[in-house]
Amino acid sequence: MYLNNITEAIGNTPLVKLQKVTEGIRGTVLAKVEYFNPGNSVKDRMAVKMIDDAEKAGILKPGGTIIEGTSGNTGMGLALAAIAKGYKCIFTMSDKQGQEKRDILKAVGAEIIICPTNVAPDDPRSYYSVARKLNAEIPNSFYPNQYDNLSNTAAHYETTGPEIWQQTEGKITHFAAGVGTGGTISGISKYLKEQRPELVTVGLDTYGSVFKKYKETGIFDENEIYPYKTEGIGEDILPKNVDFDLIDLFIKVADKDAAVMTRRLAREEGLFVGWSCGSAVYGALEYAREHLTEDDTMVVVLPDHGTRYLAKIYNDDWMREQGWL
């Protein structure tokens, strides 16, 4: 048996029990290890779905150009789909994203445009605005807009959610994931809550992001927005893919706590994962310590691979510069 192209290898990632970092926690905590996807991240799933749906709708035509704002992982998924289907790619990224992410995207043939991080989303220099402008200017181009494109949520409702339900044999009681575009947590939560309505979904947010306060008060508070270092979670906008009704609560995790936990996962669990994976596990365990019983099973999504963060959290000198080591 063989695959026709690399995108057919997406999905069916393993569920791995956490052993060391969960010391003192009752119940079972399992990690959905998404770096087993060919692009090394959970974003492969929705990237291919957004492309497929755009083709079916006639929005993306042969020889077209895919233009997207990305923190790196969605870009990789889109680039793999583009190679398989014959499209060009242009990606806008904020300047806080690591050099590895830029180099990886260039390696798979994408053009990269770096934009400043610390500007408002509607600023013409922001990576959202630059992507939209390029889409308007370049003929036969497609801007997937992972934040508001509901194919993102649908990909996880159709694949990741059912996988988790089957892999836990329906025993899952709690689900936790970082929230960026919101597609992963919303799609999985929707599927799992249909199977088990009392399932608790925990969203992991970061300091400097608007999600937690918005969930708790319904207020979009611009005072909550300030620069943070963690890549891949938190937002200064409210993406359409974040379905707050499907997320029971949010926990915020600091940059340092996320970085240190990411390194612990590598050393203690053999899981060489990305920065937001540390955010997800740190926040999930904080919740689990208080709420999990012996009969409970929690699943945490680990979105990506450590190779994206070699110059930052896996670099001792960089960690010391932050005062985190």
Q: Known catalytic residue: 193?
A: no
Q: Quick one: CA torsion of 55, 60, 64, 69, rounded to 10 degrees?
A: -110
Task: Taking residues 68-76, report their average pLDDT.
Answer: 93
* Residue 309 predicted with pLDDT over 90: yes
Model confidence at 174, in pLDDT bands (50, 70, 90)?
very high
43-142 shares the fold of 6-37+160-320: yes
Distances (CA, A) of 42 to 11, 95, 143, 312: 9, 22, 20, 21
Alpha carbon distance 185, 187 (integer Å):
6
How many CA atoms are closer than 13 Å to the CA of 167, on its beta-carbon side?
20
User: Is 42 in contact with 188 (CB distance < 8 Å)?
Assistant: no
pLDDT computed for residue 97 by the predictor: 87
CATH number of 6-37+160-320: 3.40.50.1100
pLDDT computed for residue 207 by the predictor: 97
> Whole-prediction pTM value?
0.96
Percentage above 90 pLDDT, the chain: 96
Alpha carbon distance 111, 134 (integer Å):
12
Single-letter code of the amino acid located at 324: W
Assigned architecture for domain 43-142 = 3-Layer(aba) Sandwich (3.40)
Give me the residues paired with residue 304 across strands. 41
Percentage above 70 pLDDT, the chain: 100
Residue in 17, 20, 32, 43 annotated catalytic: 43
Alpha carbon distance 155, 199 (integer Å):
20
pLDDT computed for residue 118 by the predictor: 87
Alpha carbon distance 234, 286 (integer Å):
18
Task: Taking residues 151-174, report their average pLDDT.
Answer: 98
For 253-308, write each residue's pLDDT tens digit: 999 999 999 999 999 999 999 999 999 999 999 999 999 999 999 999 999 999 99
User: Is 262 in contact with 21 (CB distance < 8 Å)?
Assistant: no
Task: Taking residues 138-163, report their average pLDDT.
Answer: 97
What the block records as the tokens of 156 is: 């996880």
For 184-196, write each residue's pLDDT tens digit: 999 999 999 999 9
Alpha carbon distance 45, 39 (integer Å):
10
Q: Is 85 exposed, middle or buried (0-12, 13-18, 19+ CB in 10 A)?
A: middle
pLDDT computed for residue 179 by the predictor: 98
Domain range summary for the chain, segments of one domain joined by +? 6-37+160-320, 43-142
pLDDT computed for residue 234 by the predictor: 95
pLDDT computed for residue 71 by the predictor: 85
User: Is 37 in contact with 6 (CB distance < 8 Å)?
Assistant: no
* Phi and psi based region of residue 232 (left: phi greater than 0; alpha: psi -120 to 50; beta: remaining): left
pLDDT computed for residue 43 by the predictor: 97
Which of 66-70, 93-97, 111-115, 250-254 comes out lowest in average pLDDT?
Answer: 93-97
Average pLDDT, the chain: 96
Closest to 91 (Cα-Cα) out of 143, 21, 163: 143
* Residue 98 predicted with pLDDT over 90: no
112: three-class secondary structure by DSSP: strand
